[in-house]
Structures are given as structure tokens and as C-alpha cells.
Amino acid sequence: MIRPSRRVRILFGGLAASLGVVLGVAALLAVLGGEPKSDVSASTQTTGTGLPVWVRNIPVRRPGEAEAAPAAEVFRPVGGTAIDGTLYMIDAVAGSLLVLPPEGGVQEVPLGTPGGGSLRAPRFSDLVATGTGVLLVADLANGRLWNYATDGRFLGSFLSDEQRRRSALGRPSGVAVDRDGRILVTDIEDQRVKVFNKSGVLVQSFGERGFAPGSFSFPTDVAADTQGRIFVADSENRRVQVFDSGGRFLRAFRDTDTPEGLVLPRSLAVDRYGLVHVVDTFGERVSAFTAEGVFVGSYGFGAGGERSLSLPEGVAVAGPLLVIGDRGNGRLVVFSR
């Protein structure tokens, strides 16, 4: 586990300031495939509000370092989405796509660089499948939403220049698709959630900077459930806020099994059973809640080095599987419900 002093040095740099140098991770040398280890079963806890159980780790190696995982400063798996059972995550430092197909194996695919002389080096923060086999990727550095093919090919901008101007999109951090196919985007520049239709037209915007219900301080991620509810990781307010499909505030929650509650909720996802999984980076665990905000339990903490998380950030869900970006340990960790 990373010591607190180091943790303070390296964590919110990913949200507050640009990385000075973009370093790559050359390859993933572990496999996802095969049956779960004998002490757990992929069918364990498949109904109700049971917590996921650990299945396996996928370490990330650099050339010439067969045994050493990369430091947290050079590996940052964020975001997550799924298409037909294949999981996709982004390494925000390398600017690459991590692909985990259902039949096993894992690939690292470089993402094509957006063109344009006025653009900065992209700083990807999240991605979502739009339902057409296309990945929509948020770029913090350029304030853009880019379309990519699953093989990493750059397909252009999701928003036209005029649509981007009208939406005042500043620094998109989290992206999701709701039950109606609308694109939900958290913007950490003006602290709002912006909702677009499939054509890129802004149809709704809600929130403001602050601490009151419905206000945000660094809303880093967003998710939606089958009931139309919208969940926002309100990171610096140390809570998750819940809204209806019209953007009306319903509730907020932050209480866990620790006295401090949520410490820095960075990412979240809703699984197929409706459980909300909140990746708490400084809490170094994932906390699970019902949609009504009732705490169910936490996992990925205090279970030994093999099964414990260090500076986790991203989460991807496909069926019973949840893959957590374990930044501090330089790996992806697979859990199953």
C-alpha cells in the first residue's frame, strides 16, 4: 500500500493540473481468461445486494521490469465501459485503450491523436459506449468529447464547434449514457452536469459550484440506472448525489462503515442488479450502495496485498464482472458478483 505522504503528493494532480510528461505503458503481460480461482466462484453473490468477491489481478509491466509494476505516476486506469461483454478502460497517462474481451486476454491499444494545430496533448478522463460500437472519450485538456473506434482509430469530434460553444463545455471529466440514450457529461470547469442528445445538442444542464444539495465541487463521474436516476460523484464534497432524469435533486449519500465516510469518490458505476459501486480513491476501497443511498458494504480494502486496492480510480462493469483500476499497485483487479 502507498504511504499517506506519497498519496497526498500524487493524487489530485490528475484533476487539478496537467501531467508534465505523458509516459506510456508498453504492454499488459497478464491474462484475464480462464476460470476464477478455486476459492471464489463467478456465480457467487449473483442476486440481491451481495458484494463482489475478488477473482484475479491483471498486473501491468513495463519493458525490462518483469516483476515490477509501474508507479502510480505513470499508470492511471480511469473510466470504463462495455460492449457485448468486452470491457474497455483508458490509461490516462499513456493515452491508450485497455481492452479485456470476455473470452480472456487483455490488450493495450494506442488511441489515435486528435488533429488540429491548436490542440494540446489529450488528457483522457473517461469513456462510454454510445450504442453504435463507438467509444465516446472525454478529453480534459482540450475540453472535447471525441469519437473513437474500438481499435483505437480516431473518428472525429462528437460536438461541432457551434454545439461546443453553446454548451460551454469546459473540462469534461465523466461521461455516461442514460436509459434514453442521452449523453451525460460532468464538467469540472463550471461544476455542472450537461446532457446531450445523440446528435450533440445540449438538452439540459444542472448544478452549480457549491456545497448545497444539487451543487458540486469537482463532479468527476456520472452514471445512470434503468430507472432513469442519475448518480454523480461529487468528489470534493465527499458524497454521491442522486437526481431524477430531469435533473431534480433527490438525495445525497456518503456514510460508509468508516467514521470518515467517503473520502474522495472518484468514479462510480451501476451494476446490472442496481447496486451503485463508488470507487473511493483516498479511502482505498470500493463502497457499494443501493440506489436509495443505503450502504451495503465495501470491498478491496484490508484483505491483504493481493486483494487490496491502492489509489483506485476507474471502474468498468460487464455482467457480473467489475474491473477496478488499481493505480497504486499498477494493475487491474477483477471482482465478480
pLDDT digits (tens, 9 = 90+) for 73-129: 678 999 999 999 999 999 999 999 999 988 777 789 999 988 767 899 999 999 999
Q: Tell me the per-residue pLDDT of 299-334, one tens digit each, with 9 for 90 and over.
A: 999 888 889 999 999 999 999 999 999 999 999 999
- Separation CA 210–CA 217 (nearest Å): 6
pLDDT given for residue 270 in this prediction? 97
Q: Which residue has the higher pLDDT, 181 or 8?
A: 181
pLDDT given for residue 67 in this prediction? 55
Residue 11 dihedral angles phi and psi, to the nearest 5°: -80, -100
- Separation CA 271–CA 316 (nearest Å): 9
Q: Tell me the per-residue pLDDT of 23-70, one tens digit each, with 9 for 90 and over.
A: 232 333 233 433 333 233 333 333 456 899 999 999 876 555 555 556
Find out whether 137 and 110 touch, Cβ atoms under 8 Å. Answer: no
Which residues have CB under 8 Å from 188's CB, separation 6+? 15, 140, 170, 171, 173, 218, 219, 220
Say yes or no to pLDDT of 159 above 60: yes
Distances (CA, A) of 318 to 32, 42, 84, 89: 13, 12, 8, 12
What's the chain's average pLDDT? 85
| Assigned CATH for 4-33+62-264 | 2.120.10.30
**Exposure of 198 by Cβ count < 10 A (0-12 exposed, 13-18 middle, 19+ buried)?**
middle
- Separation CA 220–CA 185 (nearest Å): 9
pLDDT given for residue 22 in this prediction? 27
- Separation CA 313–CA 79 (nearest Å): 8
pLDDT given for residue 70 in this prediction? 60
Q: Which residue has the higher pLDDT, 151 or 42?
A: 151
User: For the chain, how many residues are written?
Assistant: 337
What is the model's pTM?
0.85
Range with the lowest mean pLDDT among 19-23, 32-36, 218-222? 19-23
- What is the residue extent of each domain of the chain? 4-33+62-264
- Separation CA 193–CA 199 (nearest Å): 17
